[in-house]
Structure 1
Amino acid sequence: MRLTKATDLALRVVMSLAAIDPEPSTARRIAEEMRVPYNHLAKVVARLQRLGVVETRRGRGGGLSLTDAGRTASVGRLVRELEGARDVVECEGDVPCPLRQACRLRSALRRAQEAFFASLDEVTLADLVASPTGPVLLGLSGRPPSG
C-alpha cells in the first residue's frame, strides 16, 4: 500500500510537533524544516486541525501544537482518517473491471489493507519520535537534542 503525499507530510508534521512538545512551532517553520512548500503544509495542518490532532493559535506565543487527542492517537488511526476509505485498486472507475462481480482479489486486498492499518494501530507518536528520530527532529527545528 502506498500513502498519499498529504498523509506522509501529515505524519511528519505530527512527529515534529511531538518531538518539541509542549513548545509550539509554526507551519512556516515546519515547512522549511521539511523542505516542502508552505501552501501544501498549510492544507495538511488544516486537515489535522479538523481531525482534532493539532491546534493552532494566532498571535504572539501562538503556533501549532498537538492536542491531547493528538498526543495519544495511534498512527493507524491517523493513517485511516487521513487516507479515507479508499480501495487499494479501482474496480468501479471510468472503465469498470469486467471481473468485479466474481473477483476474489478485491477482498484479499481489503484484508491486506486492514492488516497494514492494524500493524500501525500499535504504534504511537511517542514511538515514532524515540531516539534516534527525536534528536534528528530537534536538530531540524534548531533545538538542541536532550540527554
Structure 2
Amino acid sequence: MRLLRSTDLALRVLMRLAVAGEAHPTTREVAAAMDVPYTHAAKVVAELQHMGLLAARRGRGGGLTLTEAGREASVGGIVRAFEGDDDVVECEGATPCPLHTGCRLRGALRRAQEAFFASLDPLTIEDMVAAPTGPLLLGISRMPSS
C-alpha cells in the first residue's frame, strides 16, 4: 500500500513538532524544512489543525505547536483520516470489473488494508519520536530553533 503525499507529510509534520521544544515554526518554515510546496504544507497543516492535532497562531510569536491530542494521536487514526475509507482497487468505476459481483479479491484487499491500519493503531506520534528518531529529526532539521 502506498500512502498519499499528504499523509506522509502530515505524519512528518507532527513528528517534527513533537521534538520542536520551544520552537514554533511557521507553515512556511515547515514547508521549507520538508522541501514541499508551501500550498501543499498549508493544506496539510489546516487539516491537522481542524483535527485538533496542532495549533496555529498568527503574528509575532506565532507558529505551529503540537497539541496534547496530537502527541497522543494514533498513527493509524491519522493515516485513516488522510487516506479515506476508499477501497484499494476500483471495481465499479466508468468500466466496472466484470467480476465485481463474485470477486474475492476486493474483500481480501479490504481486509489487508484494515490490517495495515490496525497495525498502526497502537502507535502514537510520541512513540514515533522516541530515540533514535527524535534526536535524528533534530539533527537533520533545517527549522529554526527559536
Pairs aligned (count)? 143
Confirm or deny that 1:56 pairs with 2:46: no
Structure 2: 5+ residue stretches without partners: none
Confirm or deny that 1:3 pairs with 2:3: yes
What is aligned with 2:41? 41
Give CA-to-partner distance per residue, 1:23-71, whole Å, 9 cap, x none. 4221111111111111110111111111111111111111111122111
What is aligned with 2:19? 19
What is aligned with 2:115? 115
Q: Distance in 2 between matches of 1:89 and 1:21?
A: 41
How far did 1:22 drift? 5.3
Q: Distance in 2 between matches of 1:126 and 1:58?
A: 25
Higher relative contact order (CA 8 A, sep 6+): 2
Report the RMSD for the aligned CA atoms in angstroms: 1.3
Q: Distance in 2 between matches of 1:122 and 1:21?
A: 24
| TM-score under structure 1 length normalisation | 0.91
Secondary structure, in 3 states, of the residue corresponding to 2:56? strand
Q: Distance in 2 between matches of 1:127 and 1:57?
A: 26
How far did 1:128 drift? 1.0
Divergent runs of 4+, >6 A: none
Q: Which amino acid aligns with 1:90?
A: E
Structure 1: 5+ residue stretches without partners: none
Q: Distance in 2 between matches of 1:11 and 1:22?
A: 20
Pair 1:33–1:3, CA change in 2 (3 A): same
Q: Which amino acid aligns with 1:36?
A: V
